[in-house]
Structure 1
Amino acid sequence: MKGQSRTTSRMRWGFVGAVYAFLIIMMGTTLPTPLYPIYSKAFDLSPLMVTIIYAVYAAGVIGGLLVFGQLSDRIGRRYVLLPGVILSVISALIFLCATNVGFLLAGRVVSGLSAGLFTSTATATIVNLAPDDKKNQASTIASSVNMLGLGFGPLLCGLLAEYLPHPLRLIFVVDIVMLILALIGIWIMPEPIKDRQSLKVNVQKLSVPKEIRATFIYAVIPVFVGFSMLGLFTAISPNFLGNILSIHNKAIIGVTVFFIFCASTLGQLLFKQQPDSKVLTLGSVTLIVGVILVGVSLLVESFLMLFIGALVSGLGQAFSFRAGLSTVNSVAPEDQRAEITSTFFTIAYIAISIPVVGVGLLELGLGVQWAGIVFSMIVAVLAVVSFLLLVTRGKREA
């Protein structure tokens, strides 16, 4: 009895450690967001270079997902999560020592690799360590922690950079301290995978079986739109607030980005009893409203409307993401689920990077305001297309 109680206690604390580590790793990936206006002045960065810095992060994530995404099934969760934490520490050290744009590029690539190792492995670990009757709640906790971590990064960095000295250094010292605690948590965590195999690294192929391809496409299109919205907002908000609205308070920048991820977290908890098809349609409608609000806010230069648009868009992204992933998981064959899920996440990360690159290129000729307006229109059109496809499919299946 005592042995069973001790095992239960270890599993519980391991669950807490995995959740904490996931939160801190994802937080680290968005920490620099409020600092880019400072980096731009300090290192004389063009909008295109800032765009490239954003884009190399997505490349790192996708590379991590494809090369290491399923490695933990073979060698164990801990032995993938530990390198993920170490890579995050290395990224923070690179930013801490940054003296030119090369450091920023290297730091973002390493940060992306860290996130690529953690995204699927930490989610699986949290579910593995949860009690059998709490597996569904654990999956929701994992996805919520993912989004909350992404939101806490800009919030914490904005507050420290605005109100404490050394804005380009202090936040990364704090991050390293929190990562050391995460490293300890993962180290002492019970290993969920008991039947481990030899180390073998393969680049995972991206494919979707023909029999579920139609369902996958209908599910992933609204997810693509939702993540494009996140990418758009992340790309435009720091420069728009600073250059157009003359809001240079880094805490406000951090809070603004934080709330879109808070809305995304909240949205994943709503309408859980509704069919995925209805939630996907609701997500598309909500995204249409949110993107239009963001586009109009850029046109009329309104911070309040931008903030409301961010909240609405975050909810729409959450509805689409949760229902889309649930739909894909429900039809994916068991022996191909990991491969199909990796394809799903890869498309999502491509979606989040396209607006960043596009806005950066358009900004060279149009400026950040009109670049954001143009891409808002594009994302809104995609959301309308997604809505029409879902409605058409619903009528056909009725």
Structure 2
Amino acid sequence: MAVPTQKIRVSLAMGSCLLAIFTTILASHMPTPLYAVWQQSWGFSDTALTAVFSVYVLGVVVTLLSMGSLSDQLGRRQMLVPGLLFILSGSITFMLASDIYQLGTARLLTGIGTGMVTGAATAAVIELEPDGNWTRSAALAALAFTLGAATGPTISSLALRWTSHAEAWPFLVVVTLCILCITLLLRAPWPAGLGQRQHDFRLRAWRPTPLKVPRPLLGTFFFAAAAICLAWSTGSLYSSLGPSMARELVGVSDRALAGLFAAGWQLVAGISQFACQRQPLNRLILAGPGLLIGGLAAMAAAVLLASVWLFILATLATAMGAGAIGVIATVTIARSAPPAERGSMTSAFYLAAYLTMATVVLGIGFASDYVGLVNSMLGFTVLISLAALGLMLARRRTQP
């Protein structure tokens, strides 16, 4: 039996949105193994390094605050294409960068593009799911996020090992993917009535509107936001300082291998998200934080004992725990967000995650310049473990 034409149209459109998520997150994580190289070449501090990383978050946050709900009115595809053009511009700036200020500019452009793409693309994937399976569509969106986050550092790490000019050519991959994704978005047949521009909308009359969450859903939203913040905290640590931790704290001398810890964390988290999509949330709310707490304990031990094997165990356990918690968060939002406000609510969800990411990364970078990276990491493990325990206890009051 032939697949219905409508289902093919939906699948093509959904595939282009998943590719947009993958490309965007790939671009945002591509520089991770290269930060240590730039830091050594240009001689800037850990605080400056984490500031460059966090400029990206500034771009994301400003965009989400000003345009987070725009895709609900302008249309999902009409929001995605300009966002990918920002990602493309940021990658070209990375290729040509010669100082830390140009790195900051590249990160800002990438952050603006990410803010435009993530909320709109995630909302589109949920709407375009042909069978109305929100759990599956949320898991696919989360998987695209995590695979992009794993592939970016992997490409950069391999470039450090096997090529010269590794600080430049990996971004050609992003440029190519951006062009491919924009082409697919423009050419893919978009189903009528899904994620389209509102008939009475006029861009000239549009003004930024604040993100909002319906009052009856505030409790559910805060639960989901707390979960995604917890999941992304450890991920942001690996994305910004993972290679530095591997080299300075546990004795991994190979720069390429140190960079692969960040990629490995993201890959394991992505596999965990895909594996957890069929599990009941009440089970995940115990397993996810429990694994995260165990992994953080292994991380503290790895730092104190300078053990590579304990660091590998910590990487695996924290990634599995964060993956399970990420599924809890995305499924909760997918089930609760009303269609007319899905873009706004999803953007508010990611806004909370990115603000947490910036706070964690800047805090650790600032603290490491004053009390050392070891003490900063030990403090991080304690704080995140307490937050994970709090999420487990919150399930008694909030039903996702």
Report if TM-score (shorter chain) is over 0.5. Answer: yes
In the alignment, which of 260, 269, 273 is matched to residue 264 of structure 1? 269
Could you tell me how far apart the structure 1 residues matched to 2:139 and 2:228 are?
17
Shift of 1:393: 3.3
Query: Could you say if the C-alpha distance between residues 347 and 133 of structure 1 is closer, same or farther in structure 2, counting changes exceeding 3 Å?
Result: closer
Q: What is the distance in 2 between the residues matched to 1:13 and 1:327?
A: 26
Structure-to-structure mapping, 1:63-142, within 5 angstroms: 63-132=62-131, 136-142=135-141
Task: State yes or no: 1:305 paired with 2:304.
Answer: no
Alignment pair present for 1:292 and 2:291: no
Q: Which amino acid aligns with 2:321?
A: G
Q: Mean Cα displacement is larger for which, 285-294 or 193-202?
A: 193-202
Q: CA contact under 8 A between 1:235 and 1:355: conserved in structure 2?
A: no
Shift of residue 174, structure 1, vs aligned partner: 3.0
CA contact (8 A) 2:243 2:258 kept: yes
CA distance in 1, matches of 2:297, 2:75: 45
The match for 1:173 is 172
Per-residue CA distance 1:10-38 (angstroms, 9 max, x = gap): 54444333333321221011000000111
Structure 2 match to 1:203? 208
Matches within 5 A, 1:1-398: 9-132=8-131, 136-192=135-191, 193-196=195-198, 197-199=201-203, 201-332=206-337, 335-390=340-395, 392-393=396-397
**C-alpha contact (below 8 Å) 1:277/1:323 kept by paired residues:** no
Which stretch of structure 1 is more off in the superposition, 40-49 or 239-248? 239-248
- Mark the CA change 1:78 to 1:325 in structure 2 (over 3 Å): closer, same or farther: closer
Question: Equivalent pairs: percent with the same residue?
Answer: 23
Instruction: Compare 29-38 and 328-337 and name the one that shifted more.
Output: 328-337
CA contact (8 A) 2:72 2:344 kept: no
Alignment deviations for residues 191-237 of structure 1 (CA, whole Å, 9 cap, x no partner): 34445432254434244444443343344333322221212233331
Matched-pair contact (CA < 8 Å) for 2:29–2:239? no
Q: Could you tell me whether the CA contact under 8 Å between 1:231 and 1:354 is conserved in 2?
A: no
Distance 1:133 1:219 in 2: 21
Structure 1 residue matching 2:167: 3-state secondary structure: coil
**SS of aligned partner of 2:274:** coil
Report the aligned-residue RMSD: 2.7
Encode CA deviations 1:49-85: one digit per residue, 9 max, x unaligned.
Answer: 0011111111111222222223223222222111111
1:338–1:370 CA distance, 2 compared to 1 (3 A)? same
Any stretches of 5+ residues in structure 2 without a counterpart? none
Alpha-carbon separation, structure 1, partners of 2:172 and 2:65:
30
Deviation, structure 1 residue 99: 0.9
Q: Helix, strand or coil: the match of 1:268?
A: helix
Query: Normalization by structure 2: what TM-score?
Result: 0.88
3-state SS of paired residue (1:247): coil
Deviating more after overlay: 331-340 vs 282-291:
331-340
> How many angstroms does 1:178 deviate by?
2.7
Residue 259 of structure 1, CA deviation: 1.9
CA apart distance, 1:101 = 0.8
Gaps of 5+ in 1: none
Q: Distance in 2 between matches of 1:222 and 1:73?
A: 25
Q: Distance in 2 between matches of 1:231 and 1:76?
A: 30
Structure 1 residues 135 and 370 mapped into 2: Cα distance closer, same or farther (>3 Å)?
A: closer
Between stretches 23-32 and 251-260, larger displacement belongs to 251-260
Alpha-carbon distance in 1 for matches of 2:335, 2:8: 32
Q: Once structures 1 and 2 are overlaid, which stretch shifts more, 169-178 or 210-219?
A: 210-219
Conserved in 2, the CA contact under 8 Å of 1:229 and 1:291?
Answer: no
Point out the more displaced range, 30-39 or 119-128.
Answer: 119-128
- How far the C-alpha of 1:5 sits from its partner, in A, is 6.3
Label 1:341 to 1:24 Cα distance change in 2 as closer, same or farther (>3 A): closer
Deviation string, structure 1 residues 173-194 (Cα, Å, up to 9, x no partner): 2322232222222221223444
- Cα distance, 1:333 vs. partner? 5.1
Give the whole-Å Cα distance in 1 for the aligned partners of 2:206 and 2:146: 28
Instruction: Find the aligned partners of 1:340 and 1:127 in 2 and give their Cα distance.
Output: 13
Letter in 2 for 1:198: R
Deviation at 1:356, TM superposition (A): 0.6
Q: 1:353 to 1:195 in 2, by over 3 A?
A: closer
1:339-396 superposed Cα distances (whole Å, 9 cap, x missing partner): 3333222111112222211111111122222221221222112222333333x538xx
Greater shift in the superposed pair: 20-29 or 148-157: 20-29
